[in-house]
Structure 1
Amino acid sequence: MDTIFNPLVGGLLIGLTATIYLLTLGKVIGISGILSQLLFSKERFLPFLFIAGLIIGGAAYGTLTEQTVDFPEIRSPWLLIASGLLVGYGTRLGGGCTSGHGVCGISRLSPRSIVATATFMLAAILTVMVLN
């Protein structure tokens, strides 16, 4: 039951959060946009609360359910930095991230978001196929 229940509850909470964010602030929720606001805009309080909530919520869930994440190997810090910069560049180039396009854009029937989501899903599927 947990294999269906946990993702279902998580998905409902993400959808509820995106809806509340849109209705109260008039903005589409997406982590790349929120991180950009935190780093580069004058309005930093709400983006800080959102990101802090992600970290605290994930840590609390992991603590309460005693779940751990095992990383297969230690990666080079330079590889992680380069990867992060490339992902950041890609989200700016694509006009948003997976959460912005996949959750909010598709639910608003945005053609740009539907194409973006199909593109990054196809890239992910091809990457897994090539690597495995």
Structure 2
Amino acid sequence: MSIDLASFTPGLSLTGGLLIGAAAAALVLFNGRIAGISGILGGLVGTPQKDAQWRVAFLAGLIGAPVLAGLLGSRIAPDIQAGWGEILVAGFLVGIGTRYAGGCTSGHGVCGISRGSIRSVVATATFMASGFLTVFISRHLLGG
């Protein structure tokens, strides 16, 4: 196994993790809400809610921050070697998984584990194991 040193950015990764943690902490402290992206987005679908404003603002920041960084010249987006069909199928499968798990990686992995939720520990372990298995299969068994 080798590390791609050109893509190895522990400082940026640590900074990103700290910012995600700070955003999740601020949302729970000031709004009493868990920063689970699937729940935030799901709360906008269907009947209008009184709390739609913070949900839209959160999602706008989630999308707008990397767009702004890109406009300022930062190369932060990964090079994805997949077509639109593969991306759409993958997104659909992730959506199904978040429904079955009762939340997404951000809700379970960042917020749930920090609250000591056993359900979140199990869900996050399942997410991670599925990711490890997918990479192993695609790289070693399918020759990708």
TM range (shorter): 0.7 to 0.9
1:73 deviation in Å?
A: 4.2
Q: Give the alignment's TM-score, normalised by structure 1.
A: 0.87
**Match among 33, 39, 45 for residue 27 of structure 1:** 33
**Match among 44, 47, 57 for residue 38 of structure 1:** 44
Alignment partners' CA distance in 2, 1:64 and 1:13: 19
Counterpart of 2:92 in structure 1 is 85
Q: How many residue pairs are counted as aligned between the two chains?
A: 129
Q: Partner letter of residue 70 of structure 1?
A: D
**Match among 78, 84, 91 for residue 75 of structure 1:** 84
1:85 deviation in Å?
A: 2.9
User: Over residues 18-65 of structure 1, what are the superposed CA-to-partner deviations in whole Å (9 max), with x where a residue is unaligned?
Assistant: 111011111111110000012135132111111111111011222334
Q: Partner letter of residue 64 of structure 2?
A: I
Q: Partner letter of residue 33 of structure 1?
A: G
Q: Say whether 1:60 aligns with 2:65.
A: no
Greater relative contact order, per chain length (Cα 8 Å cut-off, separation 6+): 1
Distance 1:17 1:127, change over 3 A: same
Q: CA RMSD of the aligned region, Å?
A: 1.9
Gaps of 5+ in 1: none
With 26-35 and 55-64 compared, the bigger mean Cα shift is at 55-64
User: Over residues 72-114 of structure 1, what are the superposed CA-to-partner deviations in whole Å (9 max), with x where a residue is unaligned?
Assistant: 24332xx544433332222111010001100001111110000
Higher helix share: 1
